[in-house]
Amino acid sequence: MSQFEIVSDFRLTGDQPQAVDKLVEGLNKGFKHQTLLGVTGSGKTFTMANVIERVRKPTLVISHNKTLAAQLCSEFKEFFPNSAAEYFVSYYDYYQPEAYIPRTDTYIEKETDINEEIDKLRHSATRALFERRDVLIVASVSCIYGLGEPEEYHSFVCSLKRGNSYRRDKVIRQLVDMQYERNDIDFTRGRFRIRGDTLEIQPAYEEIALRVEFFGDDIERIVEIDPLTGELLAELESVDIYPAKHFVTSHDKLMLAIEDIKKELEERLSELRQQGKLLEAARLEARTNYDIEMLKEAGYCTGVENYSRHLSRQLRIQHMKVGEKFVTPPRIVTRTDIETFCTATGQIHPLFSSDAFIKSSEAHQALGFKGSIAPGHFALSIFLGNLVGAGLLNDVIAQLATNNVKYTAPVYPYDMLRTEIEITGNRVAKSGKQVIVDYKWAAINQDNVTVIQGDNTCMFKNV
């Protein structure tokens, strides 16, 4: 397993060794905030590199501007040449937000200039999080904004292996669903081309291209090539191709998101018309309907981030009405997930594996579990993980009760589990600051077999 390992001629000196010891000790004790003080040139970056090497967890470093982030990323790449030190900042070189002036009925479209190199680095950072543990992301505040659901993004990954059989037309269809464009002439990042039995792909996150040679429906060879000269660089046994854009959504989920968008549009139009703002209502209706048509036909539209809440299906469970139902995207159960869960009590984070420290020990104790959890109870973690990934447990204060828990089928590696919930009660506490929600839940596999179900009562913030 890959781990952080510093490669440097520098050694810790002066106050640096004790600073590293105290910071690591604080992390092990669960301190949320620690501060490292030092003048310019005192070796703070090298000190933090040693902390990262000792802690051995995926790491996020946030900087207040792109220039400093680039400098830090360059330094961390030197310290960790064998690890993934990635750069994640806003990819806009120029951004003119959309605007509307009702008095003159003037609409100013949003105008942007995207830096393709930075976009490539953002995709590279995202891929690294899925593929390895020794990941260090240097980012600006851009990293706090949602990019859709990690599980949804990962479910679109196209995995190809030499010697296996794949229908070429299905592979091409999958690439289109992943927002890759076919262009047989201008072969650039995020595009693919077809020449006879050969499929060439330029991933959105790399400089090199991939050539997949078919013989009938069998993959005969997979090679890395230089997209400019066509030079063969390396032969591969298998390859995982990640989406060309971060906002990728399955058809079923996209249709649900569109229905949500339409409902919100009607609510907003009603508000504007009641206020006598007819021009604003007409402009909003025209723009949103155009975006909906683009989402239906192409699965993507300009300014798709405006609809991220709907596309990721994030809502607050305390706002759901009695009888309302919600289905999370399916989550792949890996063998590593099961092995990790069987040896430790901890919530599995949707992106950072088991290292996010999202504890669910209270829930386990309420169910009578202590210490390590038996393999048969693994489905409970998937259920909780799906709700966390959907944002439904973001405001939870406490779990008051869990009843009628039934394990009705085993869970196996590579199962696809989705979580379905139905609200059975929703009431505001006397203080008015909390909402108590009752709901039925079930984790269901790809064969529509329920593997675990139960009833929960939780207290949420009234926001």
Kindly report, residue by residue over 155-207, the tens digit of the pLDDT. Answer: 888 999 999 999 989 999 999 989 899 998 889 999 999 998 999 999 999 99
Q: Which of 217, 241, 265 corresponds to the end of one domain?
A: 241
Whether pTM > 0.75 for this model: the answer is no
Q: Is there a single domain that holds both residue 397 and residue 335?
A: yes
Q: Is there a single domain that holds both residue 138 and residue 156?
A: no
* pLDDT over threshold 50, residue 3: yes
Q: Is there a single domain that holds both residue 266 and residue 394?
A: no
Q: Is there a single domain that holds both residue 357 and residue 233?
A: no
Q: Is there a single domain that holds both residue 35 and residue 128?
A: yes
Distance CA 185, CA 188 (A): 9
Domain count, the chain: 4
* pLDDT over threshold 60, residue 71: yes
Q: Is there a single domain that holds both residue 324 and residue 385?
A: yes
Distance CA 205, CA 213 (A): 21
Residue 299's pLDDT band, with cuts at 50, 70 and 90, is: confident
Whether 341 is covered by a domain: the verdict is yes
Q: Is there a single domain that holds both residue 322 and residue 438?
A: yes
* pLDDT over threshold 50, residue 351: no
* pLDDT over threshold 50, residue 282: yes
Q: Is there a single domain that holds both residue 439 and residue 333?
A: yes
CATH code (residue 93): 3.40.50.300
CATH code (residue 357): 3.10.129.10
Whether residue 371 contacts residue 345, with contact meaning beta carbons closer than 8 Å, is answered with yes
- Vertex 60 angle, CA 45 and 389, to 5°: 170
3-state SS, the chain, equals: CCCCCCCCCCCCCCCHHHHHHHHHHHHHCCCCCCCCCCCCCCCHHHHHHHHHHHHCCCEEEECCCHHHHHHHHHHHHHHCCCCEEEEECCCEEEEECCEEEHHHCEEECCEEEECHHHHHHHHHHHHHHHHCCCEEEEECHHHHCCCCCHHHHHHCCEEEECCCECCHHHHHHHHHHCCCEECCCCCCCCEEEEECCEEEEECCCCCCEEEEEEECCEEEEEEEECCCCCCEEEEECEEEECCCCCCCCCHHHHHHHHHHHHHHHHHHHHHHHHCCCHHHHHHHHHHHHHHHHHHHHHCCCCCHHHHHHHHCCCCCHHHCCCCCEEECCCEECCHHHHHHHHHCCCECCCCCCCCCCECCHHHHHHCCCCCCCCHHHHHHHHHHHHHHHCCCCCCEEEEEEEEEEEECCCCCCCCEEEEEEEEEEEEECCCCCEEEEEEEEEEECCCCCEEEEEEEEEEEECC
Whether 8 is covered by a domain: the verdict is no
Q: Which of 292, 311, 330 corresponds to the end of one domain?
A: 311
Report the pLDDT averaged over residues 452-457. Answer: 84
Per-residue pLDDT at 380: 52
Q: Which of 241, 265, 300 corresponds to the end of one domain?
A: 241
Q: Is there a single domain that holds both residue 302 and residue 367?
A: no
Whether residue 388 contacts residue 355, with contact meaning beta carbons closer than 8 Å, is answered with no
Strands 135-139 and 59-62: parallel
The residue range of the domain holding 449 is 317-461
Whether 4 is covered by a domain: the verdict is no
Share of the chain above pLDDT 70, in %: 81
Distance CA 236, CA 193 (A): 19
Structure tokens belonging to residue 441: 């839940």
- 410-447 confidence digits (pLDDT tens): 766 667 778 888 889 888 877 778 888 888 888 888 88
